[in-house]
Chain A
Amino acid sequence: MPAANRQLNTFFKCNIKVIIFTLFLFHSKANAQLLGGSIHGNIQIDGQYYLTDTLIGAPDVPEHFLSNGFANFIYERSNFSAGLRYENYTNPILGFDSRYKGNGIPYRFLDYKNEELQVTVGNFYDQFGSGIVFRTYEERGLGLDNAMDGLRLKYNPVKGVYFKGIIGYQRDFFSKGEGIVRGADLEWNINESLRCLDSCKTKFILGGNFVSKFQDDQDPVYILPKNVGSGSGRLSIIHGNLTLTGEYAYKANDPSSSNDFIYKDGSATIITATYSRKGFGFTLAGKRIDNMSFRSDRTATLTSLMINYLPAMTKNHTNILAALYPYATQPNGEYGAQAELFFNLKPHSLLGGNFGTDVTVNYSRAQAIDKVATGDEYGYTSDFFKTGDAIFYEDFNMEFNHKWNKKFRSILSYVYINYNKDVIEGRQGFGNVYSHIGIFETTWKINSKNSLRGELQHLYTEQDKQSWALLLLEFSVSPHWFVAGFDEYNYGNEIEAERYHYYTGTFGYTRGSNRIQLGYGRQRAGIFCVGGVCRNVPASNGFTLSVTSSF
Chain B
Amino acid sequence: MKKILISIIVLVVTGFYACDKVDGPFKETVTVNDFCKTGIADSVIHKKVLVEDYTGHLCGNCPAAGVYLNDTLKQIYGHCLVVVSVHAGFFARVCPNSPCPGDQPAGSFLTDFRNPVGEGWNTFFGITGNPKGMVDRIGYPTGTHSKAYNAWAPAIAAEVSKAANASLEITNSYNSLNRSLSVTVKTDVINNLSGDYKLQVVLTEDSIIGWQEWYNHTPVYVPDYVHHHVLRDAINTQWGESIITGGAASGNSITKNYTYSLNNLWNPDYCNVVAFVYNATTYEVIQVEEMRVK
Q: Which residues of A contact B (CB under 8 A)?
A: 57, 97-99, 101-102, 155, 157-158, 161, 163, 165, 172-175, 182-186, 208-210, 212, 214, 217-229, 231, 252-253, 256-257, 261, 263, 297-302, 377, 426-430, 525, 527, 529, 532-536, 538
Contacts and interface: CB of A to CB of B under 8 A. Distances in A.
Given A157-B4, A525-B98, A535-B129, A221 B15 contact: no
B148 A186 contact: no
Contacts of A222: 26-28
A97 B129 CA distance: 9
Contacts of A229: 15, 18-19
Contact of A220 (B141, B146, B157): B157
B189 to A, nearest CB: 29
Contacts of B130: 533-534
A405 to B, nearest CB: 48
Contact of A98 (B21, B59, B126, B157): B126
A429 B25 contact: no
Contacts of B6: 157
B21 A253 contact: yes
A220 B129 contact: no
7 contacts: A173-B143, A210-B14, A217-B154, A221-B30, A221-B73, A223-B28, A300-B148
A269 B153 CA distance: 34
B128 A302 contact: yes
Contacts of A529: 61, 129
B126 A99 contact: yes
B4 A161 contact: yes
A486 to B, nearest CB: 23
B19 A228 contact: yes
Nearest to A167: B14
Contacts of A299: 147-148, 150-151
B131 interface: yes
A175 B215 contact: no
A219 B154 contact: yes
B90 to A, nearest CB: 4
B251 interface: no
Interface residues of B, number: 63
A229 B154 CA distance: 22
Interface in B133-181: 141-144, 146-151, 153-154, 156-158
A532 B61 contact: yes
A212 B19 contact: yes
A257 B150 contact: yes
A257 B101 contact: no
Contacts of A252: 19-21
Contact of A427 (B25, B60, B157, B158): B60
A539 B96 CA distance: 17
A261 B61 contact: no
Contacts of A534: 59, 61, 91, 129-130
A214 B216 CA distance: 31
A173 B142 CA distance: 8
B22 A224 contact: yes
Contact of A225 (B22, B73, B89, B151): B22
A220 B128 contact: no
B214 to A, nearest CB: 9
A536 B147 contact: no
Given A182-B18, A219-B154, 17 more contacts: A57-B97, A98-B126, A155-B7, A163-B10, A172-B143, A186-B11, A210-B18, A219-B157, A221-B30, A252-B20, A257-B148, A297-B151, A299-B147, A299-B151, A429-B220, A529-B61, A533-B129
5 smallest A-B Cβ distances: which pairs?
Answer: A212-B18, A229-B19, A157-B3, A98-B126, A299-B151
B110 interface: no
Nearest to B215: A428
Contacts of B126: 98-99, 101
B193 interface: no
Nearest to B101: A429
Contacts of A99: 126, 128, 143, 146
B128 A97 contact: yes
B223 interface: no
A186 B141 contact: no
Contacts of A263: 22, 26
Given A163-B7, A184-B10, A299-B147, A218 B154 contact: yes
B4 A430 contact: no
A292 to B, nearest CB: 16
Contacts of B7: 155, 157, 161, 163, 184, 186
A403 to B, nearest CB: 44
B148 A301 contact: yes
Nearest to B131: A533
Interface string B214-232: 0110001000000000000
Contact of B19 (A220, A227, A430, A538): A227
Nearest to A221: B153
A533 B27 contact: no
A240 B153 CA distance: 56
Contacts of A538: 90
Interface in B13-40: 14-15, 17-22, 24-28, 30-31
B78 to A, nearest CB: 13
B132 interface: yes
A522 B54 CA distance: 29
A218 B21 contact: no
B242 interface: no
A174 B143 contact: yes
B22 A210 contact: no
Contacts of B91: 534, 536
B148 A223 contact: no
B190 interface: no
Nearest to B156: A220
B132 A533 contact: yes
B14 A429 contact: no
